[in-house]
Amino acid sequence: MLSKNKLKYIQSLHQKKYRQQQGAFLVEGAKSVQEVLQSGFAVELVVATEVFYKENAHLTDHQRTPVEIASVADLERAGTLESNNAALAVVRTKENRPLLAEPGEIALILDDVRDPGNLGTILRIADWYGVQKILCSETTADVYNPKVISASKGSFTRVDWWYGDIVSVLDQLAGSSGQAVYGAFLDGEDVHQLAASRAGGYLIMGNESNGIRPAVAQYVTKRVTIPRYGEAESLNVGIATAVLLDNIRQRTS
């Protein structure tokens, strides 16, 4: 059974300010906990049912990770998931290191993408298409939000991110890298007809409601759009990211 102090500590990590203060975040569910135990993240504590621990002792024992055996009721009380019959982990956050696309590499830039579910989906999509770097504006959802981690389905362990002033980064890149900066716009070039560069570059995705901010849009060298054939008003930013990355990948592979 979890002590009151450990329960209080784990529950505090539901909130961003305490995640930042403690330098830790939550990973919940069997698959995600298994993935993080095999990743480069430092795992501070695993809280698990006896069944999960017995089946995964080789992972926790290899890293010498402290394990607390708990009931399903304790797991659900400590975590954020409505149903968790396996485990949760307290994991150390990583240093916020600057990221840039290498020659031939595609990186994502997220400008004010605020919905945690969308961000988690984008992490998963990036992982699928081999995109390993995501640069996030300071107003983009917190990647350590439990909803983001859950929606990423373990992909958070294979994608790197950085938070900061993306305008300054784009300003430094302007005219010097020779790499394309694609931006998603309603009035852009049909992505199905896109002549993509093999030099790599960046794909910017904007806010779910307002799109890419003008201060960021000025650095876009190739405005692209997904043509509409029906009557839907818009696409979810995660779906749009997948469609654009798929087309860029087809033309640069």
Domains and CATH numbers, the chain: 4-92 (3.30.1330.30), 106-252 (3.40.1280.10)
pLDDT of residue 251: 78
Interior/surface letters 133-156, b for 16+ CB within 10 angstroms, e for the rest: bbbbbeebbbbbbbbbbbbbbbbb
Contact between residue 225 and residue 194 where contact means Cβ atoms under 8 Å apart: no
Distances (CA, A) of 22 to 18, 37, 160, 188, 244: 6, 20, 20, 43, 37
Model confidence over 84-93: pLDDT tens digits? 999 999 999 9
Q: Is 253 a residue whose pLDDT tops 80?
A: no
Please give the pLDDT value at position 2: 87
Whether the Cβ atoms of residue 32 and residue 155 lie closer than 8 Å to each other: no
Could you tell me if 75 and 47 are in contact, meaning their C-beta atoms sit under 8 angstroms apart? yes
Mean pLDDT for the stretch of residues 143-169? 97
The share of the chain scoring above pLDDT 90, in percent, equals 88
Q: Mean pLDDT, to the nearest integer, of 145-159?
A: 97
Q: Taking 90 as the threshold, does the pLDDT of residue 194 lie above it?
A: no
Taking only the tens place, the pLDDT of each residue in 98-123 is 999 999 999 999 999 999 999 999 99
Question: How long, in residues, is the chain?
Answer: 253
Beta-carbon contacts of residue 167 (< 8 Å; ≥ 6 apart)? 215, 216, 219
Average pLDDT, the chain: 94
pTM passes above 0.85: yes
Backbone angles phi, psi at 57, to 5 degrees: -60, -30
Residue 163 near residue 109 (C-beta atoms within 8 A): no
For residues 35-39, average pLDDT: 96
Burial class of 62 by CB neighbour count within 10 A (0 to 12, 13 to 18, 19+): exposed
pLDDT tens readout for residues 226-242: 999 999 988 999 999 99
